[in-house]
Structure 1
Amino acid sequence: MTTKKTSGAPKPAQRVIKKYPNRRLYDTDTSTYITLAEVKQLVLDNQSFIVRDAKTNEDLTRSILLQIILEEEAGGAPMFSEAALANIIRFYGHAMQGFMGNYLEKNVQAITDMQAQMAAQSKTLTPEAWAKFMTLQNPMMSGMMGNYTEQSKTMFEQMQEQMQKQTEQMLGAFGIKK
C-alpha cells in the first residue's frame, strides 16, 4: 500500500472506487468492478475508501453509504422504525440539524466502542472464565451503560443549552427580552 506524507506521519493511501455512468463501481486498488455488497464488506472490514464519480471526480461516498443503508433497511430486519426515520427527517432544516448529527454520531461511536471492548474481553476467556463473566455481566453492563448514559445526558444538556441560546438570540432579534 502506498503512503502519503501528511504533517510528518505517514498515512495509508485511501482506496479509490470510481462510479461510472452505467452505475458500475470500479475498485482502482484491485482493478476490478465490485458490487455494493463488496463495498459494504469494505465498511465492515474498516477499510478506508472514497467513491468518486468517474467523469466529474465528485465525492459520492455518502450517497453510496446511504444506498447500502437503504438496502439493509429494505431487508428482513430493519434497524430504524418508521417513527425513528420520521423524527430524523424532521431534523433536516431545523436549527438543531448539525447538533443532532453530531449527537447520533457520538452515541453510535459509544455503542461501537462498548461492543469492541466486550469482544476484546471475550477473546481471552476460557470456558470457566466465560461462565464467571456471564454471572458478572449485569454489573459490568451496568457500568458500561452508565458511561453511555452519562455521555448521552451530557450531549442532551448541551443540546438544551444550545436551543436556549438560539431562542434568546431569536427573541433578541425581535426586541423581546427573556
Structure 2
Amino acid sequence: MKWVGISGGWHRTNQKIEDDVRGIVREIMERGDGIVSGGALGIDSIALDEAMKCNPGADRIKIFLPATLDRYAKHYRKRAQEGVITTGQAEDLINQLTGLKGASPKALVENLENEVIDKENYYKRNSNVVAASDELIAFRIKTELSEGMGTHDTVKKAEENGIPVKVYNYDLTEK
C-alpha cells in the first residue's frame, strides 16, 4: 500500500477543482492505497470527505494537525469570529475532524506540543504530511488572496526528499 499526500489551497475552490480532487482521491482509495493530508479547509477537507466515503473505518487515512483537535477547533472558531472564514466553515471542519477521530483515533495525528497555530506550525505540519507520503498530489490554487504558498512549501519539501509530485494548477483570479 502507498500513502499519497494531498495538498492544496483553502481560500477558495470551485466545482471543477472539487470534482478533480474527489476523482483522484476516489481512485487512490479504490486501488487500496491511503491518503495523507493536513486537515484544513478547502482541498484537505474535500479530500477527507471523499476518503471517508470510500474508507469509513479510516484505516487508510492520516490527517496531521498543527495542534490538538481542541486547540485547532478554538483556532478555527476564532478565525470565524474575525471574519476570515464563516462559522459554518469552522463548525463543518471541526465536525469532520471529530468524526474522523471517532472512526479511527489513529487517523487523526494531533501535535500535542504546539500551543500556537501560526504559519510556522502550519509549515511544520506540511513537513509531517511529506514525511508520511510515498508520493504527493498538489492542487495549487491562485486566488486574489493567495498565491498558494503553503502548497508550494509542501511541493518543495516533497521534491527535496525525492518524493514523486504531481501538481494541478488552477487560476481563480480570471473571470
TM-score computed with the length of structure 2 as normaliser = 0.24
Report which of the two structures shows the higher radius of gyration computed on alpha carbons.
1
- Greater RCO (CA < 8 Å, at least 6 residues apart): 2
More helix by share: 1
* TM-score in terms of structure 1 length: 0.23
